[in-house]
Amino acid sequence: MRCQQCALVFVPSQSHLSKADEKSYYDFHQNSPHDSGYRAFLERLSKPLLEQLKMGSQGLDFGSGPGPTLSLMLEEAGHNVALYDPFFAPDQAVFTREYDFITCSEVVEHLRSPGRELRRLWALLKPGGLLAIMTKRVIDQAAFARWHYKNDPTHIVFFSAQTFNWLGESWQIEPIFFGADVVFFNKCP
């Protein structure tokens, strides 16, 4: 399905995996902070983010997964990062604080209520804060038909540049795109 308003492509809820099946799928992920290839992959988000952060910034890694690595990379660079993942770090207390930055690396495509979740994260950012998202983007219908990314049964929403522009308009912020799969939203001070 495709939203006529924001161009988000999504899987209808009746086709979503159960929470137990979704967790079982994630248990097979081999994301390790000791894997140099995985770290190189995450640098697509971390490098432009680190260029914008003040030393000692407070952040949230939303959807940190079973082997938090992005948070470790940011901590190694001098930042403090709280973790949240509904399956692997379900600490609801993270939603009672404000942050200088929030990262969502390969997470938004899993959200059952992406609008609600992204609004909640936006509200947690301090003025001048930054929301950094990494996800592969929909190009067009022909590319989508042959796209491997849609074949992951836990991927249920797919964003495009048009979707992120729509989101930026709703927050009155211009999205900043880095490469093919990273987008930043800077909250006005």
Q: Is 2 inside a domain boundary?
A: no
Closest CA to 8 of 133, 122, 113: 113
Q: pLDDT tens digits for 63-116?
A: 999 889 999 999 999 999 999 999 999 999 999 999 999 999 999 999 999 999
Q: Is 3 inside a domain boundary?
A: no
Q: Is 53 inside a domain boundary?
A: yes
Q: Is 96 inside a domain boundary?
A: yes
Print the domain residue range for 17. 9-186
How many domains in the chain? Answer: 1
pLDDT score recorded for residue 31? 82
CA distance 179 to 134: 10
Below-70 pLDDT ranges, the chain: none
Domain CATH code at residue 55 = 3.40.50.150
Rounded to 5 degrees, φ, ψ at 152 are -70, 120
pLDDT score recorded for residue 28? 79
pLDDT score recorded for residue 112? 97
Closest CA to 134 of 99, 96, 177: 177
Residue 47 CA, distance from chain mean position: 15
Rounded to 5 degrees, φ, ψ at 160 are -125, 175
pTM assigned to the model? 0.96
Query: pLDDT averaged over the chain?
Result: 96
Q: Is 4 inside a domain boundary?
A: no
Q: Is 165 inside a domain boundary?
A: yes
Residue type, 59: G
Q: Is 49 inside a domain boundary?
A: yes
Q: Is 44 inside a domain boundary?
A: yes
